[in-house]
Amino acid sequence: MSLWEYQARRGNPIPSQSLGPSGARCCCRASSVERSLQVVKMSGSDPERPQLLFVKVLASWGRLEAVTQQMGCHPQYLDSFLKMQHYLMHMDGPLPFDCRHYIAIMAAARHQCRYLVNLHVLQFLRAGGDPQWLRGLNFIPPKLRNLNEINKILAHRPWLITKEHIEKLLKISEWSWSLAELVHAVVLLAHCHALASFVFGCGCEQDEGPGGRGVLKPLSPGNQCFCEATTGNSCSQELLRINRKRSLDSCMELDSLRERMQRIHVEAEGREETRLLQQDQEEGERHEWRWVCRMGAQRGGAGGPSIGLPHLRLSPLADAGGAVTSAANLACYMQDPDFGYQDFARRDEDQTQVFRVQDYSWEDHGFSLVNRLYSDIGHLLDEKFRTVDGLQSSTMAKRQGCEPSVFKRGIWNYIHCMFGIRYDDYDYAEVNQLLERVLKVYIKTVTCYPEKTNSEMFDRFWKQFKHSEKVHVNLLILEARMQAELLYALQAITQYMVS
């Protein structure tokens, strides 16, 4: 049974099928990636490019979240990232929209990334998702729950995935996956795992909390379709004009932005203290009310008048006992929480074969497979990989005493090496020469144990380097990790298809 059919059987509305005021289908359901490309297409020479990209994010999400601000250091990359993410989450695809966001929640929870979990919980509910699913994996369809195993493996030890895992998901049953659905899910998982590394690596997760950048602050236009907000109708142009005015502060230098966020955080802490005092007062009043109710019930049982209790309406995320299950409780979204990264040991080649890029590469194998099973996503992924490789880093490389391409390849190959991926034409002795120890520790922590990263690590490594150069390193980590997971998953799918 497809997840679309499951939603229809339960009587849930499918947002993608709704019609706009003019009777035309929402452009989020366009059948070609060209519509997605037009959404954020801009001239590379446009001096206002970062500001315009920020406005588009404001129109879509109702907020300028921390990830966008950090990626704004490299507008060309942010452009390709937004195109790919919009197509993955909001455009035509095998998976229903609410299921896409729930899979993103499952992926982010593996690294305890509250920032991404909170973001996708809100989008899940906006897409018409069942609030009961947010109580944990025991409350979702078995088909989604079966995805937990490859989610766990891809997040921590992708070299362990085999064609048997793929076969188990695809075997004929009521809850079997199709190849197209599985490829869509795999890209979602890899995207969110890698994005969690970026979130922790750049300190976005540390900003989660009252008044921080991680707090969801929806604006009134936030529910508008992303595509409508970025096309030419007069209403949308007015929206962009308003959002452009509101986002002036967001277009400042990141250091100034951090200072402003810090002031907001201090003010929010003051408001939080006031709220807690009020909460204590209300708790005392509730205690007195429960005592009055209890006494009234006793009198009612003895023939006296009973005190009627008002009907209590449970929160959408409340369980049967009335306790609220919030996004902060991430354990409910994963199984086997102790499963984590382990060093890929070359001495275990009998059990785990080294992945040789000469035998299976993104360019020659992965790209064509993913593009065939999930139309056009391969082009967007490939553009993103090429964009991060083409980012200018001459200053960064010059300080290390090498060519930019050599330095970036050293970082990329070091990350792939940690996942057991080898390039026969590369001398790995160069890694120790190019990357100082502090940088290697940082890269390995953000790649393999992102949840253990703290804000001090971002500030400590490369103190003499610019903020944008540090963000560039984190973008390399994001893309190298995502490609590594995709290579292992797509190779397993290929092996299943040819077996």
Catalytic positions are 113
Overall size of the chain counted in residues: 499
Q: For residue 438, which phi and psi values (nearest 5 degrees)?
A: -60, -40
